[in-house]
Amino acid sequence: MAKYTERLAEKIVSLIEEDTYSITEICKHLKITRKSFYEWRDKKPEFRKAIEAAIESRDEALAITARRSLKKKLEGYTLTEIRTTYVPDKENPEKLVLKTRVVRQKEYAPDTHAIRLVLSHNETKEEENKEHSQPLTIIVQDPKTRDSLNELREKLMNNNVPVEKKIEKEELISEPTEPISHSDNLQDVQIEEEEEPITQKKEESEYVFIRDYCLPPPHLYRKVKRSEVKEGDIIRPD
């Protein structure tokens, strides 16, 4: 049985990293048995780590070479061939001199088979990502906000009606909870009715605030341009 030495281990690791020989060929070249190689690997942690690092480095080099070759296949490439001809010198037959030099360039178009493989691989990867994608989870600590979100979700799932329109409809059919019995209250109502047209005459602002349930409490609305408001967005009343 061969004796383990650091120098011998370095030679083994170097040959593995170069990816020139198999384990059997390395053992024959270094005059050791396969049994000795695997015993050293199992019993000596530093030798096992060096082998694993060599294999990882080798695989990375192979992957880079594969990517470069695939890139050439996808993009196409130009192959240059140079052919030279030498003849004996007339004055000195023992000496060769250049007679002709021919340069040829051949264009290789992109490989459609390689392109299809790459596209198919990307599509498969996207489908796997969709299958493993997790639904969006919103954690709300405020009970009032949580109840509002649950109510909104139920309304959207049951009726599929834009939130903004539905809320407007509920406000129109809502009735005051307290009857108006005093003249002071009646006067207040009349003042509100007189001020309403004035509010409508105000120029619309370029920006509005819409409800955003992704914001942490107490922030409920975010500022956007009026042109960016989508159907279903809840606009904060001014």
The dihedral over CA atoms of 148, 154, 157, 158, expressed in degrees to the nearest 10, equals: -130
Residue 112 lies in a domain: no
pLDDT tier, 40 (very low <50, low <70, confident <90, very high otherwise)? very high
> How confident is the model at residue 176, as a pLDDT?
47
Residue 122 lies in a domain: no
> Computed from CA positions of residues 19, 20, 23, 26, in that sequence, does the dihedral angle turn out positive or negative?
negative
Neighbours of 233 (CB within 10 A): 15
Last residue of a domain, one of 52, 73, 94: 73
The dihedrals phi and psi of 68, each to the nearest 5 degrees, come to -65, -40
Residue 56 lies in a domain: yes
Range of the domain at 38: 6-73
User: pTM of the prediction?
Assistant: 0.41
Q: Is 67 within 8 Å of 75 (Cβ atoms)?
A: no
Residue 103 lies in a domain: no
Q: Is the peptide bond before 218 cis (omega within 30 degrees of 0)?
A: yes
Residue 84 lies in a domain: no
Last residue of a domain, one of 40, 73, 106: 73
Q: Is 74 helix (H, G, I), strand (E, B) or coil?
A: helix
Residue 100 lies in a domain: no
Q: Provide the domain count of the chain.
A: 2
> How confident is the model at residue 55, as a pLDDT?
92
Neighbours of 208 (CB within 10 A): 19
Q: Is the pLDDT of residue 194 over 50?
A: no
- Express each pLDDT in 118-154 by its tens digit: 888 888 877 777 766 665 666 666 777 777 777 777 7
Last residue of a domain, one of 23, 43, 73: 73
Q: Is the pLDDT of residue 178 over 80?
A: no
Q: d(Cα 138, Cα 216) in Å, to the nearest integer?
A: 10
> What value does the mean pLDDT take over residues 205-234?
77
Closest among 227, 218, 221, 226 to 209, alpha carbons compared: 221
> How confident is the model at residue 191, as a pLDDT?
38
Q: Which two tokens stand for residue 120?
A: 């198919």
> What value does the mean pLDDT take over residues 204-213?
76
Residue 63 lies in a domain: yes
Mean residue pLDDT of the chain comes to 76
What separation in angstroms does the CA of 2 have from each of 8, 31, 37, 102?
Answer: 10, 8, 9, 56
- Express each pLDDT in 150-160 by its tens digit: 777 777 767 65
pLDDT tier, 116 (very low <50, low <70, confident <90, very high otherwise)? confident
Residue 187 lies in a domain: yes
pLDDT tier, 71 (very low <50, low <70, confident <90, very high otherwise)? confident
The dihedrals phi and psi of 175, each to the nearest 5 degrees, come to -120, 150
